[in-house]
Amino acid sequence: MGLVAGRLADVSSRKTVIFFGVVIWNLAMVGLGMSNVFWQLLLWRLVLGVGQAFTNPASYSLIADYFPEEKRAQANGLFACGVYVGGGVASLCIEVRWRAARRRCSARRETGQPSPTAAGAVRERKRERD
């Protein structure tokens, strides 16, 4: 899935690829919250992975365009540490039942609401074609 997403990010608007990836991601979170049996949970987790696969290549490409070479490693590291910060915040929900926590997060869109909004504010630089 990552190869398809990477190619799509190369030939189309990266901002749009990120936006639709986040939309898929949020729909999957709603599905996870509404899951009643294991197969539903598994299905929505796979859809969540598809949404995530579409956001990463375009995000790294935008980071490469927006940051000079000497600052790029720091920017990529900061972007990558979001996984661990999110995992730490999610672990705070351990005392609450997982299903109630998922529904609450999905209903309020705490897991990604700023992302589509921020994606609309990003201006994509013109890419040089070889």
Question: What's the confidence (pLDDT) of residue 112?
Answer: 47
- Strand positions, DSSP E, the chain: none
> What is the residue-level pLDDT of the chain in tens, covering all 130 positions?
778 888 888 888 888 888 989 899 899 988 988 888 999 999 999 999 999 888 888 888 889 888 999 999 999 998 888 878 877 777 776 655 556 656 655 554 444 444 444 445 556 666 665 4
| Residue with tokens 């921020």, as numbered in its chain | 118
Question: What's the confidence (pLDDT) of residue 117?
Answer: 45
Angle in degrees, 0-180, between the axes of helices 114-121 and 14-34, rounded to the nearest 10: 170
Distances (CA, A) of 2 to 6, 59, 81: 6, 12, 19
How far is it, in rounded angstroms, from Cα 58 to Cα 56?
Answer: 6
Indicate the pTM of the whole model. 0.63
Q: Which are the contacts of 23, defined by CB distance < 8 A and separation ≥ 6?
A: 51, 116
Question: What's the confidence (pLDDT) of residue 46?
Answer: 94
Are the C-beta atoms of 48 and 28 separated by less than 8 Å? yes
Q: Which are the contacts of 130, defined by CB distance < 8 A and separation ≥ 6?
A: none
Phi, psi of 13 (to 5 degrees): -70, 120
Question: What's the confidence (pLDDT) of residue 99?
Answer: 60
